[in-house]
Amino acid sequence: MLPDQVKRVFEEHLWYIATCGVAPNVVPVGFKRICGDGRLAIGAILLETTLENIKLNNQVAVACAEPLTGEAYQIKGTAELSYEGKAFAYYQKLTEVTFKGDMQLKCAVIITPDRLINASPNARNKEEIPI
């Protein structure tokens, strides 16, 4: 499980998901949350290159930072694409409410964290945090 301080930063700020398939790709994501089991969930609406990369290579990195303090973390893990289940249903409803039919959810991206790394500009930079 992610430490509470890490959860706070991820819950309050924009995430950036990095993938690599044919070519590297990194994009900000706003439809995101930490699931009760510690996995990360992202609602994929516009993530075409990200999804194609995950199909080729399911290893991803997700970064998040508190812009005022510089507190930052990186999670490295394994992604899977989900077309049903709780996360998919949650993002499907959120997409309908937010975009009123103008956009459609492609899938939910579920990330199982393998490593948590301090990315803050301090003496603990690059330090691995147990999860």
| pTM to 2 decimal places | 0.95
What is the rounded CA–CA span in Å between residue 47 and residue 122?
A: 32
* CATH C-level class of 4-121: mainly beta
Q: Give yes or no for a contact between 25 and 19, defined as CB atoms under 8 angstroms apart.
A: yes
pLDDT per position as a tens digit, 71-127: 999 999 999 999 999 999 999 999 999 999 999 999 999 999 999 999 999 999 999
Spatial separation of the C-alpha atoms in residues 54 and 120, rounded to whole Å: 27
